[in-house]
Structure 1
Amino acid sequence: MSYQALYRVWRPQNFEDVVGQKHVTKTLQNALLQQKISHAYLFSGPRGTGKTSAAKILAKAVNCEHSPTAEPCNECAVCRGITDGSIPDVIEIDAASNNGVEEIRDIRDKVKYAPSVAKYKVYIIDEVHMLSIGAFNALLKTLEEPPKHVIFILATTEPHKIPLTIISRTQRFDFKRITPQDIADRMRYIIKDYGYEYEEEALQLISRAAEGGMRDALSLLDQTISFSQNRISVEDALIITGSISQQILNKLAHAISTNDTREALEALHTLLAEGKDPIRLVEDLIQYYRDLLLYKSSSQMQQYLERIVVDDAFTEIVERYHQDQVYGIIDRLNQTQQDMKWTNHPRILLEVCFVQLCQIETNASTNFSSEEIHSLREKVLSLELELRQLKEMGITNPVPKKEEPAQEQKTVRSGKNTYRAPVGKIENVLKSATKQNLQLLKNNWGNLLEKLKRSHAALLNDAEPVAASTSGFIVKFKYEIHCQMAMNNAEFISVMNQILSAVTGSPTEMIGVPEEQWLEIRQSFIDQHQDFAKDQPKAEDDPFVEEAKKLVGEDLLEIKE
């Protein structure tokens, strides 16, 4: 094949081309110039950050005909031979497929032979963490004391899987993730070399999608160039990377801030219909709100923003959010992302998440403007000044005795909740009250409560009818506050009157009275009207009382009103 992928064509050939690893390349260059080359190195870090490339550059630099030098010349026979792989003195081994003891023993047996062309024999063992325990043990002694003409370079993405006995025998260099800005700069240099047209935001999208790996970024760039036909646009980059445009994210954020569930779900279904991955969508939203939180905390932190580009639309949305609201949104999105890993229906979880996010109440009450804060401060200062002037005038608030607050509070409370029953109406009902009307009311009392709403029926929990006539009925309440609440509720009174009018067959009015007041009013009425006592129902006339007498006898029975 004549065509080569971009990441192969643009593989670094000297330390200067290794992007984002200045702390590694500078140290190696100084060691080369000072001829302080170690016998073993360990390069660890994420994928695509230049570990294997740095190993080959180091192998060329130590064997270059112009050594000691900080950079290989890439022109001498040795440098060109190492680059094209024709020199047998630089051996690259894939530990993923050569992880057995026999392969390491073969290295141990051959390591004693001197290099044939170069000055040093260099063993580059990639993905060294894949070696078995037996292979590590076989390599241990050779790695600690190899011949003077041998250099080991171990590369791995998972250094925690390497035994400490191996790590302690090497110089360890940790490669870090490459920043999106450095990746974009490198891609910009490559694109200009080919003469392609591009949009800056498209490069930013690709660099963020690479997640710190230059190889991944160049692979995505290669794919985008093939798709876009020599012009890299934002739309093409979104399709290739599976990312979401900032315009759509702004639309979602606006819908959430305005509690517009319909707009948020429509945008979500549009993205899913375009083939967007739900998990990737949640990840983009988390990064979006992370950038929003950083920018809201300080507008000077634009250099730390990874997902968005600050524009007028974004700054307008930032003003609509409060920090506490953003905290809750990020927590909810993070929980949804975790739950989506264990479900077969990630779309449903995502829809539920969007509905919940749109129902989060905006904490606008605590998001005061600077003018409001200034006004509140002035009011506080004014009140403090007035209080100071009153103290200077000798007006103080004396501390009452311990017994007085409770007594005063009791007086106020009783005055506030005091309910006086309408004595005149009660006496009018009592004048024409009969046993038959009261018994009719009691027989239908249970059905009456079932017809009421729960809130109305609750007012009659500790109430009972005590007297009734053709024009009205008296209900005794155990607690005064319940009586007051019931008689002040116009809807409740109207419903009760309608139901009881239907029961009695004539217009009937309900009159409420607290138990304490009822006893006083009743006794006063009896004293004034002796005939009333004769018509009142007695316990002895109650059929339940008569049945109780038959069961236990009159001597053992005590009757209480």
Structure 2
Amino acid sequence: MAYQALYRVWRPQTFIDVVGQEHVTKTLQNALLQQKISHAYLFSGPRGTGKTSAAKILAKAVNCEHSPVAEPCNECAACRGITDGTISDVLEFDAASNSRVEEMRDVLDKVKFAPTAVKYKVYIIDEVHMLSISAFNALLKTLEEPPKHVIFILATTEPHKIPLTIISRCQRFDFRRITAGSIVKRMKLIVDETGVDCEEQALQMIARAAEGGMRDALSLLDQAISFSQDRVTVEDALTVTGSVSQGFLYKLAHAFQEKDVASGLEALEELLFHGKDPARFIEDLILFYRDLLLYKTAPNLEESLERVTLDNEFQKMAETIPTEQIYLMIDQLNKTQQEMRWTNHPRIFLEVAIVKLCQIETKHSDQAAPGQISQLLAKIEQLEDDLRQLKTNGIQAAQEAPAPVQKTAPRTSRKGFQPAVGKINEVLKLATKNDINQIKSNWAEMRSRLMKSHAALLNEAEPVAASSTAFILKFKHEIHCQMAMDNNRFIETVMSALQELTGHRFTILGVPEDQWLSIREGFLSHQHAEDGEGKDSQEGEQPHISEAKKLFGAEFVEVID
């Protein structure tokens, strides 16, 4: 019989053989035992993580002659027939090569027929995201309400390309990338069963290069076995995977640490000469410094080291390289990796990165020599002594010097805005209803001509009294009043705008609302005393009512008790 690849020979035949997907297999096993099988499933995840294998195992488990069972027996006629592919009721449909609606309709036309050899018809549609929109539409209704004897299992690596109407009709299971430890454990079982001699470190190298895919790992292992003579060594694994040896990484790290650009570029030339992949190389270098950082900060977590094997040289290097320098080097390597993804000349970026890494310590060194630290500490002590002496001399001089003459502050001690009460009273004496109405009727038009910043100051302000030459502007908040009255440009702009609209130039007198009430009451009381409003008092009319009638007209004043 012709040779079969390892991933085909060792394809999982039971749920327990599906590595690293316990969250999926446990759920499916419980559903099988409880006989709660759904009519449609969606298996999504990266390549080589067991989606199609799990689909075939599920097809065998639901049709096993001993069902309900958590695992297919793989011995009955149904299990053997599904494994061999001789039972037509279990159909594997490749959507990548049959994406048209005609092929999908041909499959769906046979759904309504009962199975001939087993209990359930199972349709496994692989790479379902490759179906056309018409094919998805043809599948939609059948997928929602298929006959009781039909189960659909959809598998895909790109679930985002599947219409949401399809996804909502399926039970979705997301397959994860398999950890390197799980892959190594599975490969150890395979090499022990096949009798292949293989170094454990070589298996770890292959598992890391597989990037979470068991099929990729077994394909690389197959290549390494074919490449090796009698024993799969680390060098064989490095050659097959394109990775870089740990000794080569040490050589580059020493070149970076010693700022030897020539040695770094020579090492890169040697690397490329041996056909190593630049993308794989920079990933190895990033993981090397990642392991260096983790070991330096948490030396007890040896199992967290992903790229290197712990030895004396690695421990010595971890002691000599500062943590801050490792941060900078990882950051520079990451930037270079991003740039290399979009270029046809990765070698240039690698050479530039090596030059920068060799110079990074001189540019970003934050460790001062012991002599420099001593000088800095001496300067700090001297500055502290000088400061202490200045404070002492300042206190003595203040005690010996005669008391300075108390000078009047340039500003009054009164807090808040102080309105011009005298000018306001003068306006109130000469205020007329026509003048205030003239200003109020043009107030909105005047505000529309102002800048936004000036108009904003008038949001909660209104004219309350006016004479022929000035008007009183009441502000709700004192801070707004002060901001407006201190802004000469604002005052001039408002006065000019009113002059254009009314033909008269009015002086603005600002006053906060709370002060305006007291000023007005004081003016009315004083005016009443001067004018001798005894008659009004005898007749029972209050002074402020009389003054209001004089200001606004008796016909506009309504007295409410």
TM-score of the two chains, using structure 1 as the length reference: 0.66
Q: Deviations over 1:473-516 (max 9, x none)?
A: xxxxxxxxxxxxxxxxxxxxxxxxxxxxxxxxxxxxxxxxxxxx
1:130 matched residue in structure 2: 130
In the alignment, residue 89 of structure 2 is paired with which amino acid? D
1:227 matched residue in structure 2: 227
8 Å contact kept, 1:39–1:152: yes
In the alignment, residue 195 of structure 2 is paired with which amino acid? G
Partner secondary structure for residue 151 of structure 1: strand
Partner secondary structure for residue 398 of structure 1: helix
Matches within 5 A, 1:25-424: 25-361=25-361, 365-366=366-367, 398=395
Q: Deviations over 1:147-172 (max 9, x none)?
A: 11110000000111111111111111
Cα pair distance change 1:24/1:367, threshold 3 Å: farther
Q: Deviations over 1:350-383 (max 9, x none)?
A: 11211111011266644999xx99x99x99xx99
2:15 matched residue in structure 1: 15
8 Å contact kept, 1:257–1:320: no
1:451 matched residue in structure 2: none
Q: CA deviation at 1:263?
A: 1.9
Cα pair distance change 1:286/1:94, threshold 3 Å: same
In the alignment, residue 317 of structure 1 is paired with which amino acid? M
Separation of aligned partners in 1, 2:187 and 2:25: 20
Separation of aligned partners in 1, 2:132 and 2:346: 38
Separation of aligned partners in 2, 1:252 and 1:397: 60
Q: Deviations over 1:87-133 (max 9, x none)?
A: 01100000001111112212221111111011110000000000111
Partner secondary structure for residue 152 of structure 2: strand
8 Å contact kept, 1:101–1:134: yes
Partner secondary structure for residue 395 of structure 2: coil
Separation of aligned partners in 2, 1:310 and 1:368: 30
Matches within 5 A, 1:515-534: none
In the alignment, residue 58 of structure 1 is paired with which amino acid? L
Q: CA deviation at 1:306?
A: 2.0
Separation of aligned partners in 2, 1:131 and 1:399: 92
Partner secondary structure for residue 93 of structure 1: strand
Separation of aligned partners in 1, 2:164 and 2:325: 46
2:470 matched residue in structure 1: none
Q: Pairwise CA RMSD of aligned residues?
A: 3.0
1:432 matched residue in structure 2: none
Separation of aligned partners in 2, 1:35 and 1:240: 46
Separation of aligned partners in 2, 1:125 and 1:11: 18
Cα pair distance change 1:32/1:386, threshold 3 Å: farther
The percent identity for this pair of structures is 68
Which sections of structure 2, spanning at least 5 residues, go unmatched?
402-561
8 Å contact kept, 1:322–1:364: no
Separation of aligned partners in 2, 1:204 and 1:31: 35
Separation of aligned partners in 1, 2:259 and 2:28: 56
1:482 matched residue in structure 2: none
Cα pair distance change 1:400/1:359, threshold 3 Å: farther
Partner secondary structure for residue 97 of structure 2: coil
Q: CA deviation at 1:285?
A: 1.1
TM-score of the two chains, using structure 2 as the length reference: 0.66
Separation of aligned partners in 2, 1:180 and 1:233: 18
Separation of aligned partners in 2, 1:367 and 1:175: 51
In the alignment of these two chains, the number of paired residues is 394
Q: Deviations over 1:232-257 (max 9, x none)?
A: 11111111111101111122112112
Q: CA deviation at 1:397?
A: 5.8
Q: CA deviation at 1:340?
A: 2.6
Separation of aligned partners in 2, 1:335 and 1:311: 29
In the alignment, residue 300 of structure 1 is paired with which amino acid? N
Q: Which moved more, 1:38-47 or 1:340-349?
A: 340-349
Q: Deviations over 1:60-93 (max 9, x none)?
A: 0010001101000000000000000000110000
Matches within 5 A, 1:424-443: none
Cα pair distance change 1:333/1:386, threshold 3 Å: closer
Which sections of structure 1, spanning at least 5 residues, go unmatched?
405-561
Separation of aligned partners in 1, 2:27 and 2:326: 42
Separation of aligned partners in 2, 1:205 and 1:399: 76
1:414 matched residue in structure 2: none
